Amino acid sequence: MQDLLALHDIFDEKKDIEHALNESAIVAITDNRGIIQFVNEKFCKISKYSRKELIGSSQSIVNSGYHDRSFFKEMWKMIGTGNIWRDTIKNKAKDGTFYWVDTTIVPFLNEKGKPYRYVSIRHDITELKEHEERVTQMAFYDPLTLLPNRNLLNKWLNSNSIKHNDLSILYVDVDRFKAINDTFGHGSGDMMLKEVASRLKSCLRSKDFIARHGGDEFLIFLNQITDKKEVEKIAFRILEKFREPFMLEEEQLFITASIGISTSNSVDPYDNDEQLIEELIRQADIAMYNVKRQGGNMYCFNTDDQNLKAKRFFTVDQEIKMALSTNQYSIVYQPIVHLKTNKMVGVEALLRWKNPKLGVVSPVEFIPLLEESGEIVPVGKWVLESVCRQMAAWHASGFLIGRASVNVSPIQFKEPDFVADVQNILEKTGLAPQHLELEITEGTILQVEKVEHSLNDLRNIGVNISIDDFGTGYSSLSYLKRLSAHTLKIDKSFIHDLNVSEEEIIINTIITMGKNLKYKVLAEGVETKEQLAYLKAHNCHEGQGYYWSKPVPPEEIKGIFKENEGRIKVIN
């Protein structure tokens, strides 16, 4: 007690003395080496050590390992020169639990001014610190994966003074993650993301940084590394980690990742570090989407060519949003010919887009964007109504084309109101159902249980069904037997390579199978007399391609047939 009363000579403020003598104070007295000579009951209670265990032990008995060596070095430097030291310390109790204390250490000096005793007065602030940690956790960490979020990323970037030439960024995206959520539910998807985060962390060095960017996307910052080979090693290591199966609901799942990479030495210098980081993330994002478009499960570095493609992609994506409302779409028609009679039996309707800024945009480029955005549904409905209206007008003028074939996206086909929409359009335009043919892809019929009912309803209405690009997917005989379809369309890639024996075998198989199942068989992409002769010799029913005509606007259809008189006879 005399030692505590002697603090009156050292503490500057009365309130400090009051704190020291307060019952809430945790008090210890050590010699100048840190060996404990005295502790009060409060010290024993919070540390869970007995007084007997503490007396004679080093003050380090409650060291938690949280603070580094420099922290205590600075403390000893301060008190060793006779100065009072104040700070907060995280200590460890005997049972392994941690607690925080607001600590003041007061040195007692001998006649020579050297410390011979230290008195430490602590106050328990564990509850306050835990609250602060919870707030920090919410502010700087993703609650699911416990990885840093963008806020902590910004702090890390600022504190590490990133230089222009010493940083690489990996933009990692889990391939087809939506399918996992849809199949197993979001709870299982969250479990998958936790495992993904753990595997990504295991591939990195201690000085690297990883953050969850949102959803199934992660950003990895490789500090002080821009050498392409070294970056590739880490990217390859990540892909290898993904080769190991993931366990989900007692099932083994194999998933892959797409990795886009940018390096700071491959972009122009920026005066502002923040602008540099934003540009590197953008470049890595572009590279990642390039991997996605190629099927995923690999990595790719950013290039100038990719930047141009990304700029084009962005422009097309923006312009397509207004295309339908501003009447930028048109429809062209290509004749379908009966090979034995040489008569035109129908036309295929094909969507075209001419944009004021971009000019003519290829369907290969814009159709996937329509499907990805969901715009394919209203656009597809517009196409269907336009074609039915055109067919009705041709028929009214005496130009009796047998059927118009319209491509239907899987997304559009699976809409719950699709069959009702078709029926309403037919009634609205006055076109008889037998003059409309809907083309669906092989990918659509892979989920035969989900589409069989709609196909039967369409057939009951009287609409024809065609399976497009047949031979390129995974259709099986069991699917074809169950479907209420009328026509198989042989994909043009097989017709183009007719001189290859394997392609001939495939074509012959499709024709034979189609006839046995009572399907009409139509060959797309016919361009030469030799191709036509082969198809005729093998009893293919119908053909379509540049041999007869390219796709043309509706007003040119009649003229095309007059020019080809003798090769195509128009039914009228």
- Measured between alpha carbons, how far is 34 from 40 in angstroms, rounded to an integer? 16
In a shared domain, residues 444 and 408? yes
**Nearby residues of 236 by Cβ (< 8 Å), 6 or more positions away:** 299
Closest by CA to 300, choosing from 236, 367, 219, is 236
In a shared domain, residues 292 and 162? yes
Given this model, what pLDDT does residue 515 score? 80
Asked if 37 and 29 count as a contact pair (C-beta separation under 8 A), the reply is: yes
> Where would I find the beta strands (DSSP E) of 356-431?
359-361, 403-407
- Measured between alpha carbons, how far is 433 from 462 in angstroms, rounded to an integer? 5
Q: What is the pLDDT along the chain (572 residues), one digit of tens a residue?
A: 444 444 444 444 344 444 554 557 999 999 999 999 999 999 999 999 999 999 999 999 999 999 989 999 999 999 999 999 999 999 999 999 999 999 999 999 998 889 999 999 999 999 988 888 777 767 778 888 888 877 777 777 666 555 545 789 999 999 888 878 877 888 888 888 999 999 999 998 888 888 888 889 999 998 888 788 889 899 999 998 998 888 877 778 888 899 999 988 777 666 666 777 888 888 899 899 888 877 888 998 887 666 667 677 778 888 998 999 999 999 999 999 999 888 888 999 999 999 999 999 999 889 988 988 889 999 999 999 999 999 999 999 888 889 999 999 988 988 889 999 999 999 999 999 999 999 988 667 656 666 778 888 998 999 999 988 765 544 455 566 666 678 888 888 888 877 666 667 778 888 888 887 788 999 899 998 989 998 999 889 999 999 988 999 999 887 765 555 445 544 43
- Measured between alpha carbons, how far is 531 from 525 in angstroms, rounded to an integer? 9
- Measured between alpha carbons, how far is 123 from 19 in angstroms, rounded to an integer? 9
For residue 536 the two structure tokens come to 């005729």
Domain ends where: 302, 337, 369? 302
Given this model, what pLDDT does residue 270 score? 65
- Measured between alpha carbons, how far is 121 from 268 in angstroms, rounded to an integer? 56
Given this model, what pLDDT does residue 411 score? 86
Given this model, what pLDDT does residue 10 score? 43
In a shared domain, residues 162 and 19? no
Cα separation values, 60 from 56, 93, 103, 125, 541, Å: 12, 11, 14, 19, 91
Residue 25's domain is classified under what CATH number? 3.30.450.20
* Residue 563 belongs to some domain of the structure: yes
* Residue 315 belongs to some domain of the structure: no
Closest by CA to 96, choosing from 146, 49, 30, 42, is 49
Put simply, whether the predicted model's pTM sits higher than 0.75 gets the answer no
In a shared domain, residues 296 and 369? no
Q: Which domain holds residue 45?
A: 2-131
DSSP state of 12: S
* Residue 311 belongs to some domain of the structure: no
* Residue 310 belongs to some domain of the structure: no
In a shared domain, residues 119 and 86? yes
Asked if 267 and 283 count as a contact pair (C-beta separation under 8 A), the reply is: yes
Cα separation values, 401 from 297, 381, 459, 488, 520, Å: 47, 21, 20, 20, 18
In a shared domain, residues 353 and 445? yes
For residue 283 the two structure tokens come to 């470049």
- In the block, tokens 């007399």 appear at 529
Domain ends where: 98, 131, 164? 131
Q: Is 153 exposed, middle or buried (0-12, 13-18, 19+ CB in 10 A)?
A: buried
- Measured between alpha carbons, how far is 82 from 358 in angstroms, rounded to an integer? 78
Task: Give first-to-last CA distance, the chain, whole Å.
Answer: 119
For residue 41 the two structure tokens come to 């009951």
Torsion of CA 545, 475, 409, 523, to 10 degrees: 10
- Measured between alpha carbons, how far is 57 from 31 in angstroms, rounded to an integer? 11
Given this model, what pLDDT does residue 150 score? 75
Given this model, what pLDDT does residue 362 score? 92
* Residue 412 belongs to some domain of the structure: yes
- Measured between alpha carbons, how far is 141 from 153 in angstroms, rounded to an integer? 10
Residue 246's domain is classified under what CATH number? 3.30.70.270
In a shared domain, residues 152 and 225? yes
Given this model, what pLDDT does residue 14 score? 40
Given this model, what pLDDT does residue 31 score? 94
In a shared domain, residues 122 and 147? no
* Residue 308 belongs to some domain of the structure: no
DSSP state of 462: T
Given this model, what pLDDT does residue 226 score? 76
In a shared domain, residues 287 and 426? no
Closest by CA to 172, choosing from 155, 154, 147, is 147
Cα separation values, 285 from 174, 213, 219, 494, Å: 13, 11, 10, 36
Given this model, what pLDDT does residue 564 score? 52
Torsion of CA 163, 167, 173, 175, to 10 degrees: 160
**Amino acid, single-letter form, for residue 96:** G
- Measured between alpha carbons, how far is 156 from 140 in angstroms, rounded to an integer? 11
Given this model, what pLDDT does residue 93 score? 95
- Measured between alpha carbons, how far is 221 from 218 in angstroms, rounded to an integer? 10
Asked if 126 and 43 count as a contact pair (C-beta separation under 8 A), the reply is: no
**Nearby residues of 546 by Cβ (< 8 Å), 6 or more positions away:** 525, 526, 527
Asked if 168 and 284 count as a contact pair (C-beta separation under 8 A), the reply is: no
For residue 275 the two structure tokens come to 């602008």
Domains in the chain, number: 3
SS3 content of the chain, % helix, strand, coil (to 5): 45, 25, 30
* Residue 307 belongs to some domain of the structure: no
Residues in the chain: 572
Asked if 266 and 284 count as a contact pair (C-beta separation under 8 A), the reply is: no
* Residue 506 belongs to some domain of the structure: yes
Residue 447's domain is classified under what CATH number? 3.20.20.450
Given this model, what pLDDT does residue 17 score? 43
In a shared domain, residues 248 and 347? no
Closest by CA to 524, choosing from 478, 471, 475, is 471
- Containing 44, the helix (H) or strand (E) segment is helix 41-47
In a shared domain, residues 61 and 156? no
For residue 560 the two structure tokens come to 């095309």
Phi, psi of 96 (to 5 degrees): 95, -5
Domain ends where: 105, 131, 157? 131
Q: Torsion-angle region of residue 398: left (phi > 0), alpha (psi -120 to 50) or beta?
A: left
Asked if 321 and 314 count as a contact pair (C-beta separation under 8 A), the reply is: no
Given this model, what pLDDT does residue 572 score? 36
Helices (H) and strands (E) counted in the chain, each on its own, are: 23, 22
In a shared domain, residues 183 and 202? yes
- Measured between alpha carbons, how far is 18 from 27 in angstroms, rounded to an integer? 13
